[in-house]
Amino acid sequence: MAGTSRKDGLAGSHPDAEFSPEEIEAARVAFARPVNFLLGVASLDGLPDMSLPEVAFAGRSNVGKSSLINALTSQRQLARASTEPGRTREVNMFLLDGRLRLVDLPGYGFAKASKGTVRRFQDLGRAYLRGRPNLKRVYLLIDSRHGLKSEDDAALAALDLAAVSYQVVLTKADKLKPAEQTAVVAATLKALSRRPAAFPRITLTSAETGAGMADLRAEVLRAGFA
């Protein structure tokens, strides 16, 4: 994979998005450290203590949360990805290098599950967001083919309410032409300008090609250890 993501597209187009080559390299090294599945919980009682920083990945079902965690950590099957929406039904935690927890949150907005099931996942996600002072950042994943949708409003509202620092990550960039990538980044930034808790930066990624991963690793480390 490329050492920097400048040719990955738009992650570097915002002036604040510049990471020094040293920071990119440090992040690459950190994410090459051992990572393991820590636990999956269906209720908050089972969560570990708050002694370590956490960064969480949230977003619609099927948006690519589990795939992104696998791509960040260069693992194939760490987080289980699936074509079946609603695959991740628990809060799953992974421990990177014994010092940072990566949290795969249940997705929202899939049609197949029963209403009760959907609500249960969403309540779990919301409760998690509210109750974790060691939660350093939430990455809200948005499918770059669709941009922000009304289905994302509830998640944005929950994040604003929980006053958690969050940042949008666009996924599946490999499905778009460069001009479409530029357009969705611009439209998403514009929509987020009305959301004060949103971090004013967007990373365009592809778990498929690895685009944006070098930058996102640096982002995650900066956020996790800020």
Ligand X SMILES: Nc1nc2c(ncn2[C@@H]2O[C@H](COP(=O)(O)OP(=O)(O)OP(=O)(O)O)[C@@H](O)[C@H]2O)c(=O)[nH]1
Instruction: Find which of ligand X, Mg ion, none residue 207 binds, CB within 5 to 8 Å per kind.
Output: ligand X
> Which token pair is 125?
């996600």
Measured CA to CA in angstroms, residue 60 lies from 90, 157, 180 at distances of: 14, 14, 21
> Which token pair is 174?
């490999």
Nearer to ligand X by Cβ, of 26 and 113: the residue is: 113
Q: Which of 37, 159, 162, 58 is nearest to 107 (CA)?
A: 58
Nearer to ligand X by Cβ, of 65 and 132: the residue is: 65
Nearer to ligand X by Cβ, of 175 and 190: the residue is: 175
Rounded distance, CA 158 to CA 81, Å? 25
For the bound state, the minimum distance from the C-beta of residue 49 to ligand X, rounded and expressed in Å, comes to: 26
For the bound state, the minimum distance from the C-beta of residue 212 to ligand X, rounded and expressed in Å, comes to: 9
Instruction: Find which of Mg ion, ligand X, none residue 73 binds, CB within 5 to 8 Å per kind.
Output: none
DSSP 17: G
For the bound state, the minimum distance from the C-beta of residue 198 to Mg ion, rounded and expressed in Å, comes to: 22
Ordered alpha helix ranges (H), the chain: 21-31, 65-72, 115-130, 153-162, 178-192, 213-224
Instruction: Find which of ligand X, Mg ion, none residue 92 binds, CB within 5 to 8 Å per kind.
Output: none
Nearer to ligand X by Cβ, of 160 and 174: the residue is: 174
Nearer to ligand X by Cβ, of 81 and 156: the residue is: 81
Rounded distance, CA 51 to CA 68, Å? 25
CB 147 within 8 A of CB 118: no
Which residues would be at the binding site for ligand X (CB under 6 A)? 59, 61-67, 81-83, 85-88, 107, 171-172, 174-175, 206-208
For the bound state, the minimum distance from the C-beta of residue 65 to ligand X, rounded and expressed in Å, comes to: 4
Instruction: Find which of ligand X, Mg ion, none residue 64 binds, CB within 5 to 8 Å per kind.
Output: ligand X
Q: How many beta carbons lie within 10 A of that of residue 56, not counting itself? A: 24
